[in-house]
Amino acid sequence: MPTLTWLTREADIRLAQKAPYRLLESVPELSYGEQQTENMLIQGDNLDALKALLPYYAGRVKCIYIDPPYNTKSAFEHYDDNLEHSQWLSLIYPRLELLREFLSEDGSIWVSIDDNEGHYLKVIMDEIFGRKNFVANALWQKRTSPDARLGLGAAHDHILVYGKSPDMMKMNKLSLTEAQAANYKNPDNDSRGAWVSTDFTAQGWRPNQMYKIIAPSGTKYEPPGGRCWANIESEFHRLNSDGRIWFGKHGKARPRVKSFLSEAQGVSAWTWWPNTEVGHNQESKKEINSLFGTDEAFDTPKPERLIKRIFGIATNPGDLVLDSFLGSGTTCAVAHKMGRKYIGIEMGEHAVTHCVPRLKKVIDGEQGGISKAVNWQGGGGFRFYRLGDAVFDETGKINSSIRFSTLAAHIWFCEAKAPLGRQADSPLLGVHNETAYYLLFNGILGDKRPAGGNVLTSRVLKDLPPFEGPKVIYGETTRLGAERLRFEGITFKQIPYDIKAR
Ligand SMILES: C[S@@+](CC[C@H](N)C(=O)[O-])C[C@H]1O[C@@H](n2cnc3c(N)ncnc32)[C@H](O)[C@@H]1O
């Protein structure tokens, strides 16, 4: 497959793999609301933050939305959007590689971009996510009128959409807009309420759909030239006796079929997203001004309605969503109001000055943006984190502050290529491919001396939770000889040397 080349490509495609595993440190004083929440707000470079999250969230995220810097050559107040072209590619490539690992099998990634880098981004995303997994390029009409300063100004941004496996992706229909709902009327006082009617014909010629229909007035109808009736005759009679065929006010018009508002399943989404449906740049400016005042406003927010459209199509309540270029926090605010779980990552100081107060307001029941549309009443919470130390130092030694559960999560992820999914509290981490994985570290067997229980001896082996089958045991060292290890079916791995640090 053709790939994009740039000066530092060879080094850049190794960045994700080389990024250190770092700890996430909770900051209680910047967290808010319910303590038990899974919602996370992380301040830090997203390359490191994503790497830190990977052992816990790989394969679990239903929808990723990102709005990276567009490289518009502007210097905004809160971040710089003027990278040399290959530096931009070097920013985006490794981060997309990591993001791919978070998607669930039915998950999707949606990326906002404009014409500065959009076409390069498509080529890179084809490489990383697979050309066959490209779903669509949605066009968001971001302006309401042309920019008078430009000869041919851009009216739209792109939103590139890829599925992990598009066949598994279920896209929800869109609810009807007020204008669409207003088309439903009830001229015959049908007890099922308002309805719209559509022509009862289909294109083509099918022999069992070519019958005669007699209207209540006695007028006889045949399908018009080149068309047949929409259904076979028995189905027509079923619909007619259920009062679902409309022959006009006087019972003599050509047949039409009724669809009731109460039964409407919504409309299928398509790639044209006009600002009347999902907002525009002025709308998001207003939203941000009313949250922070004009002096503190963030320069490039997205409208809440735009993100609601994405989550409405790609997720359901309770699903986990992720944004690693969070800006002013729009994605998390919308996710929170829509009942989705979320992880937001932002490296700038506005993680504290904007995202935290915005989410606090949401939890307190803020009524701007999409609040009224989703009947938001407040509640919930989020936890704030910053990046802490690396799990391993430059020489590969384990950081002394690492807790058992952290190292356990890391080892399990390296071995099973999947998150552990719980707080490890036993030396038996789990069974993968019929092999049991054990970790002896920080006296997990109850002996609190520094090296206590970290050495595999006969006594320690006896105290381990039993498993009939091959075992991999991580520990500082072993007193069991090669013969005994073979006899017990044990592969011993020495900490730190046998742990993959990257
Ligand atoms: C276009 S803004 C996102 C705006 C956002 N969608 C909103 O509605 O407010 C891009 C954001 O990405 C952040 N960013 C850029 N590089 C980053 C990195 N390496 N790690 C984390 N955040 C980064 C910038 O600080 C900026 O806030």
Give the CATH number of the domain where residue 120 resides.
Answer: 3.40.50.150
38/156 same-domain check: yes
Q: State how many domains the chain has.
A: 3
234/346 same-domain check: no
What does the alpha-carbon distance between residue 21 and residue 392 come to, in Å, rounded to a whole number?
7
What does the alpha-carbon distance between residue 488 and residue 473 come to, in Å, rounded to a whole number?
11
Residue 93 has pLDDT above 60, yes or no: yes
Q: Are 91 and 347 in contact (CB under 8 A)?
A: no
Specify the pLDDT at position 450. 45
411 Cα: distance to centroid of ligand 1 (angstroms)? 31
Residue 399 lies in a domain: no
CB-ligand 1 contact for 347 (6 Å cutoff): yes
What does the alpha-carbon distance between residue 457 and residue 377 come to, in Å, rounded to a whole number?
58
Residue 374 lies in a domain: yes
What does the alpha-carbon distance between residue 154 and residue 141 come to, in Å, rounded to a whole number?
9
346 Cα: distance to centroid of ligand 1 (angstroms)? 6
- Which of 8-17, 287-296, 308-317 shows the lowest per-residue confidence on average (mean pLDDT)? 287-296
Q: Phi, psi (5° rounding) for residue 245? A: -110, 135
Question: Which atom of ligand 1 is closest in space to residue 46's alpha carbon?
Answer: 20
What does the alpha-carbon distance between residue 159 and residue 113 come to, in Å, rounded to a whole number?
6
Residue 498 has pLDDT above 80, yes or no: no
Average pLDDT over every residue of 433-452: 75
Question: Which atom of ligand 1 is closest in space to residue 345's alpha carbon?
Answer: 21
**Boundary residue ending a domain (238, 263, 288):** 263
124/205 same-domain check: no
What does the alpha-carbon distance between residue 302 and residue 306 come to, in Å, rounded to a whole number?
7
CB-ligand 1 contact for 454 (6 Å cutoff): no
Average pLDDT over every residue of 346-374: 97
167/195 same-domain check: no
Q: Phi, psi (5° rounding) for residue 70? A: -85, -10
459 Cα: distance to centroid of ligand 1 (angstroms)? 53
Residue 284 lies in a domain: yes
Residue 394 lies in a domain: no
Question: Which atom of ligand 1 is closest in space to residue 327's alpha carbon?
Answer: 27
What does the alpha-carbon distance between residue 56 and residue 62 come to, in Å, rounded to a whole number?
14
364/473 same-domain check: no
345 Cα: distance to centroid of ligand 1 (angstroms)? 8
**Residue of 114, 308, 347 best suited for mutating to test ligand 1, as the one with most atoms within 8 Å of CB:** 347
Positive or negative: CA dihedral 109, 98, 399, 407: positive
Q: Whose CA is nearest to atom 8 of ligand 1?
A: 301
79/102 same-domain check: yes
384/291 same-domain check: yes
Q: Which amino acid is at 480?
A: L
Specify the pLDDT at position 22. 87
Residue 23 has pLDDT above 90, yes or no: no
82 Cα: distance to centroid of ligand 1 (angstroms)? 13
To the nearest whole number, what is the mean pLDDT of the chain? 92
Specify the pLDDT at position 444. 67
Residue 358 lies in a domain: yes
292/309 same-domain check: yes
pLDDT band of 502, cuts 50, 70, 90: very low
306/367 same-domain check: yes
Residue 502 lies in a domain: no
CB-ligand 1 contact for 79 (6 Å cutoff): yes
- Which of 18-32, 65-79, 314-328, 444-458 shows the lowest per-residue confidence on average (mean pLDDT)? 444-458
* Closest by Cα among 95, 82, 78 to 13: 95
Which runs of consecutive H residues, i.e. helices, occur in 58-204? 85-102, 118-129, 178-182
CB-ligand 1 contact for 382 (6 Å cutoff): no
CB-ligand 1 contact for 348 (6 Å cutoff): yes
Cα of first residue to Cα of last residue in the chain, in angstroms, is 28
- DSSP state, residue 254: P
Most confident of 24-38, 73-87, 128-142: 128-142
307/450 same-domain check: no
Residue 398 lies in a domain: no
Per the omega criterion (within 30 degrees of 0), is the bond before 68 cis?
Answer: no
- DSSP state, residue 78: S
19/166 same-domain check: yes
Question: Which atom of ligand 1 is closest in space to residue 284's alpha carbon?
Answer: 8
CB-ligand 1 contact for 300 (6 Å cutoff): yes
Domain housing 467: 404-494
Average pLDDT over every residue of 345-361: 97
What does the alpha-carbon distance between residue 139 and residue 142 come to, in Å, rounded to a whole number?
9
Q: Phi, psi (5° rounding) for residue 381? A: -170, 175
**Boundary residue ending a domain (389, 413, 438):** 389
Residue 291 lies in a domain: yes
159/71 same-domain check: yes
What does the alpha-carbon distance between residue 224 and residue 187 come to, in Å, rounded to a whole number?
26
Q: Are 288 and 298 in contact (CB under 8 A)?
A: yes
Question: Which atom of ligand 1 is closest in space to residue 354's alpha carbon?
Answer: 9
**Residue of 45, 326, 358 best suited for mutating to test ligand 1, as the one with most atoms within 8 Å of CB:** 326
279 Cα: distance to centroid of ligand 1 (angstroms)? 20
pTM of the model: 0.83
**Boundary residue ending a domain (338, 361, 389):** 389
